[in-house]
Chain A
Amino acid sequence: MASSRLMSPTLRWTPIAVLALLESWVAWDLLAVPDRRWITALALPFVANLAFLLLSRGAHRRWARWCGLLALGTTYVVSHAFALGVQVLPALVFVSLLIAQVELRILAERFAPLFLTTITSAQQRQIGSALLRALIRLTIASFLAVVIPLLAADLATAGVVPVTTIPTAFLLSAGLVAVVLIIALLPSLESNPE
């Protein structure tokens, strides 16, 4: 029972901790930008991200949360693409962490209230095992999201896969368009069950 009481706050605080880590990461990178004009320009989306995230916590607005994360990602990508230069491994880790943060928040919203109620040990076991499975899948997905692009980059730089040919470009574009089309055509999920 005690572990169940601890589970809910742990679940609630984990996505916030990951978000705090990402925020400090971007803030640290901003401080490392040598050009003051870039710092000023990049401070705008960063402050907007903070404002949106605070709004989302205060007013429970989903769109504000999405805008905040978008502003955070934009600050990171623009600062590295235009001012600091993109280092592949940290950038991939950052993107994976950002995705993991969203997934963790979804899991926390779904599971944290369940551990607040007085549930039997059998229910606790069932819910706990479902949570564990979800976390394992998320860890594997995050790991692959870092490793596979690194592997692809390695293969490309080693010349194993020809990346600069026109068929490769067509194949990549067609694949991406197909994925986007499939996702756009699927009906959208609006709300959680009551």
Chain B
Amino acid sequence: MRTPLSSGLAAASMGFLLLGLALRSWQVLLLALSPMIVLALGSLAPPPKPHLVAVRSLSRDRTDAGRQVDVELLVRNEGSSLDLVEIADVLPREFEVIRGTNHAVVSLEAEGTLRLAYTIRSPVKGDFVLGPVRARSFDPLALGAQDVVLDLRSPLVVAPAMEDLRRAQLQPRRTRPWFGQVPSRRIGPGTEFWGIREYVAGDEVRRINWKASARLEQLFTNEYEGERSGDVVIVVDARRESSIGTEADNPVEHAVRAALGIADRVLAAKNRVGLIVHRQVIDWVPLAFGRKQLYRILDHLVHVKPGGEWRFSHVGLVLSRFFPRGCLIVLITPLLDREALTAVVGLTARGYDIAIVSPSALAIERRMRADSEEDRMAYRILAMERANRVAQLRRVAQVVDWDPATPLALALRRMTAWPRRA
């Protein structure tokens, strides 16, 4: 392939020739030789087609958003010697190179190798593929080039960063018959004292309340509040309209991060967790316990991209068909439309406890815009509208208005109980 420079040199040569002939000037005619000589020297050694073999190795194939991954690319020249070859390991645009380089221009002898070692990081989650490797061989004067693409691809899954919610009080109000860590307001096995009753044959000796027994001259047994587990369904609003801001800083990305943190925290407390993602399609993960469920939820969340124009009320249909009543719904939505209010009222009427975590799209937008007088005025109006919507929702649900620039744990800590008792 020719480069634009070779065309330019040929055109210049032709121009000098024609001008020299028109002016009948041998000096001008002579100037046509300079670009011709450069062209001739360039074409003396046309660039050979590169025959390269590449091997890529990654320090890990699953990582978290923001965590570094070391990549090593070994390229070996199995063809003739390459005078000038440009090699680039193509990365998805979400990745940034922290150390080293994924791109080099070198000379490669036959059987020569090039080692590119670099460290990358993605600020956003996703299921990515590194590669292919592109190589372009040039002649010494960059007048011609030969391209080759090595179809070497390495998958890399970037999970959303996990929020530390260990101190947040996240537990469902209504419990199920399984043992867990949520006080159930029923007598059963647990650690919180509930009351005493007369001793019955078969009661454990260590449960006998000796002080009360001595005072009343009759054996009494301690009773405890049973600790059970509950159900939590996390609903992530990833509709197209919820995507405001940059690729890394938008309500959908923050919602995914929050969902993962909440799922981890709730599962660690021995509750069942389910997930509904409201995006191009409405997909869900049924309720289940344990670490495996966290990985199932994580796999779903990794693929969440903003999209879809579904009405918010569709979530209610999925909930009523596939999830039991009486579970806690954690709705993670930027609350950009008033329809959410109607949907939440409808769900509460059907017997669901609702808690809303709302990553503020307004706060994200404000950080992106210049701080002019008009912007400040617009922000105040929109903030009032949002506050009004949140106030209306607080009548039926617990609402956390979350500025994603602050840790979610901090926003959740401001809540007194989770969720507010009806």
Contact = CB atoms under 8 A, between A and B. Distances in A.
A176 B90 CA distance: 40
B2 A73 contact: no
Contact of A134 (B6, B16, B84, B117): B84
Place the interface of chain A in its size category: 35 or more
A179 B34 contact: no
B14 A153 contact: no
Given A88-B27, A194-B88, A99 B35 contact: yes
B105 A110 contact: yes
A189 B104 contact: no
B420 interface: no
Contacts of B16: 77
A152 interface: yes
A113 B96 CA distance: 15
A149 B41 CA distance: 14
Interface residues of B, number: 60
Nearest to B147: A193
B9 A99 contact: yes
A108 to B, nearest CB: 11
Contacts of B39: 179, 183
A103 interface: yes
Contacts of B19: 77, 81
Interface in B83-113: 83-84, 86, 88, 90, 97, 99-101, 103-107
Interface string B98-139: 011101111100000011110000000000000000111000
A75 to B, nearest CB: 14
A91 B27 contact: yes
Contacts of A127: 104-106
A130 B101 contact: no
A137 B140 contact: yes
A42 to B, nearest CB: 15
A92 B31 CA distance: 6
**Residue with the highest number of chain B CB atoms closer than 10 Å, among A87, A149, A193:** A193
A145 B30 contact: no
Contacts of B12: 73, 95
B30 to A, nearest CB: 5
Nearest to B134: A193
A96 interface: yes
A176 B29 CA distance: 12
B137 to A, nearest CB: 11
Contacts of B28: 77, 81, 86
A6 interface: no
Nearest to A74: B15
A20 interface: no
B308 interface: no
A44 interface: no
Contacts of A81: 19, 23, 25, 28
A194 to B, nearest CB: 5
Given A77-B31, A179-B39, A187-B2, 17 more contacts: A77-B16, A87-B27, A92-B30, A114-B105, A118-B100, A119-B100, A123-B115, A126-B106, A126-B114, A129-B107, A134-B142, A145-B35, A176-B32, A188-B7, A189-B1, A189-B2, A189-B4
